[in-house]
Structure 1
């Protein structure tokens, strides 16, 4: 006899039961006997022979039903900061769940970026209200300090430098505000990276040396610029990107093949390569050769997927990217060539992310009443809408062990590689 659990999971519960019980102990279709049938189904599905619903899965946290513009974890991974509308919500991990514990209120319009410094734990936020705040924990709560951005358009993106001495804020004013703390006046001030930026900054990424800054914008260019500030930065070691790097030095300027908006940028762990993704569903990897020289390799990977919004490196030979296809993908290669290696997620069926939240009993009740286990609009992916941000969650020597994603569906998901 066939294993009942395996047959049932394939959606043939009624056929299997009637085929192996003659005469049937209860008439098929008689809804007075359905509780007995559901009990049988529940027993079979929960048995050890049914492995489909017990597959290892990403750690998904459905926080709310609003879009998440950005997210960041604290150094100990116990606190999660999430940009929700005009506030930043702080969640504390309790067991396997995150619970809302605090809110950072100060912005008047949509918060577009949030980042927690990996060592000090300070939080920086930016918003469409053209302001940025640095939040520091005190015995009485989180204390905000207004940053003098000096911009007349929305702030769009923010990230701390690896040294935590500076942070960069992208904007719709065609400038990048590089912010640092001035001890004499006890405030955060900024210097502007301007030329040759000609449109809104959509994304930023720091080089490991905390001086070079990669920026993507809606003028279809990814650029590498120097943010060196005397008295704050130490002079970086010479590299293929440049040797003498005064503020606003252009170390590289790269155009997307289809003139699409640049959605995500990222330096490799060594800083010797740059990857960026455009709205034409491509990923481009650049290997610089020498200062003021063309790159020794510039490779574009065209895909048939929807556009990516964000990407990170996993070592020097793998990139993880995600966006409008609602799931993360791998790209692998080197200077000789790159290719799309496929999706990271293994999908068990429609609504894989939320199907695990349903009981087996309810799943088969829906199958009986509606002829389906999930709504027709349910995706097979963990995320049910566009992924906005991909961030490293856990890594060692540049090799990522875990990464996190957040998206328009209000979910934050932690993935294990």
Structure 2
């Protein structure tokens, strides 16, 4: 059975710590809320207010226990827990537009920040200056709204609103292996997605890159080929890997969707929330008269007879998704965090997630 937790009115960013007993989220404002799970419910542990505009990205490093945040205020902070209190350190992003997303590298010695300034800031700690500094990757034509690190700690995938998915070298001299031959910002690959690229995500092995697009498609990119699936439902916004052959994605339909690799071809298996799919769907307006009546009612009375109860556990878009130990966690614009056990997914869709 899925577990539902109403933590706030709206979630704009979400991340879990290493053992998934704590989470950090932003309730669609400038605050960073940290919660601790006591075995039954999530309880507030701290509220940090260092940003002054909406926090758009959060990532929690599992090894160093550092939290990094980015915001529409064009700043990023790295938080470290010192004697039970979270100490912030400002990062020099050097950008003139909002920061949109942030991810730690696998070795946690740097992180990438996507921005509305058509660039990515690769941030690392300068021992000599004792601060976090950044270098830029500028080969984008529009906002970068998603980033994902390859397991090798060097390659970085980006998703942009210029309809492109790209792979760059994010090598930093003095931080990474000096034997690396690719320079920072070198474009390794570029693919046309046909729409905004909402989310990019490397598989655990780094052999495949998944990306979701605003035209209700999802792509799986390998070295020699790219497989696209066009779904009939609303666009997917976020996703996560379960092994190398299962991918869970969520978005505007408020229902996590499973994709699976079968016989070297990706297939859409179905929705995880099976109870919602069995409900009667709202009938579309099929005449000018009915449409006029509907909108007239909304203007005159502020109501519409066509409004029906939302049957999915999420009442609004899913914009956060994490793969945890034995379960999937989704966060939404409705302020809910829902945990979907693998056992529920297996039973609902009759699949194996191993």
TM-score class, shorter-chain normalisation, is 0.7 to 0.9
Q: Does 1:305 align with 2:249?
A: no
Q: 2:181 aligns with which of 236, 244, 265?
A: 244
Q: 2:4 aligns with which of 52, 55, 60?
A: 60
Q: 1:133 aligns with which of 59, 73, 77?
A: 77
- Cα-to-partner distance string for 1:17-52 (whole Å, 9 max, x where unaligned): xxxxxxxxxxxxxxxxxxxxxxxxxxxxxxxxxxxx
Which residue of the partner structure matches residue 313 of structure 2?
A: 382
Which runs of no fewer than 5 residues in structure 1 stay unpaired? 1-56, 237-242, 289-295, 351-374, 395-400
Secondary structure of the 1:347 match is helix
Which residue of the partner structure matches residue 329 of structure 1?
A: 257
Compute the TM-score of the two structures, normalised by the length of structure 1: 0.73
Secondary structure of the 2:274 match is coil
* Distance (Å, rounded) in 1 between the aligned partners of 2:335 and 2:84: 29
Q: Is the 8 A contact 1:333 1:339 kept in 2?
A: yes
- Structure 1 residue 69, shift from structure 2 partner: 1.1
* Distance (Å, rounded) in 1 between the aligned partners of 2:327 and 2:187: 33
Which residue of the partner structure matches residue 76 of structure 1?
A: 19
Q: Is the 8 A contact 1:297 1:335 kept in 2?
A: no
* Distance (Å, rounded) in 2 between the aligned partners of 1:100 and 1:346: 32
Which residue of the partner structure matches residue 121 of structure 2?
A: 177
Q: Does 1:121 align with 2:52?
A: no
- Cα-to-partner distance string for 1:207-256 (whole Å, 9 max, x where unaligned): 111111110010000111110112111268xxxxxx83221111111111
* Distance (Å, rounded) in 2 between the aligned partners of 1:146 and 1:112: 16
* Distance (Å, rounded) in 2 between the aligned partners of 1:299 and 1:225: 21
Q: Does 1:215 align with 2:146?
A: no
Which residue of the partner structure matches residue 288 of structure 2?
A: none
Q: How many residues align?
A: 315
* Distance (Å, rounded) in 2 between the aligned partners of 1:81 and 1:335: 39
Which residue of the partner structure matches residue 168 of structure 2?
A: 225
* Distance (Å, rounded) in 2 between the aligned partners of 1:268 and 1:102: 33
- Cα-to-partner distance string for 1:131-177 (whole Å, 9 max, x where unaligned): 00001111262111000000000000001111000010000001100
Q: Is the 8 A contact 1:182 1:188 kept in 2?
A: yes
- Cα-to-partner distance string for 1:297-316 (whole Å, 9 max, x where unaligned): 11100000100001112222
Which residue of the partner structure matches residue 279 of structure 1?
A: 214
Report the RMSD for the aligned CA atoms in angstroms: 1.8
Q: Is the 8 A contact 1:125 1:158 kept in 2?
A: yes
* Distance (Å, rounded) in 2 between the aligned partners of 1:220 and 1:213: 17
Q: Does 1:268 align with 2:203?
A: yes
* Distance (Å, rounded) in 2 between the aligned partners of 1:314 and 1:141: 34
- Structure 1 residue 116, shift from structure 2 partner: 0.8
* Distance (Å, rounded) in 1 between the aligned partners of 2:271 and 2:37: 28
* Distance (Å, rounded) in 2 between the aligned partners of 1:157 and 1:185: 25
- Structure 1 residue 336, shift from structure 2 partner: 3.6
* Distance (Å, rounded) in 2 between the aligned partners of 1:246 and 1:265: 22
For 1:92-171, what aligned pairs fall within 5 Å after superposition? 92-139=36-83, 141-171=85-115
- Cα-to-partner distance string for 1:160-203 (whole Å, 9 max, x where unaligned): 111000010000001100000011110000010112x1100111
- Structure 1 residue 376, shift from structure 2 partner: 6.0
- Structure 1 residue 337, shift from structure 2 partner: 2.0
Secondary structure of the 1:301 match is strand
- Cα-to-partner distance string for 1:385-408 (whole Å, 9 max, x where unaligned): 1000111222xxxxxx32211110
Which runs of no fewer than 5 residues in structure 2 stay unpaired? 280-305, 343-354
Secondary structure of the 2:145 match is strand
* Distance (Å, rounded) in 1 between the aligned partners of 2:39 and 2:259: 33
Which residue of the partner structure matches residue 371 of structure 1?
A: none
- Structure 1 residue 107, shift from structure 2 partner: 0.5
Q: Is the 8 A contact 1:378 1:384 kept in 2?
A: no
- Greater strand share, 1 or 2? 2
Q: Is the 8 A contact 1:287 1:335 kept in 2?
A: no
> Using a 3 Å threshold, how does the CA distance of structure 1 residues 114 and 189 change in structure 2: closer, same or farther?
same
Q: Does 1:404 align with 2:329?
A: yes
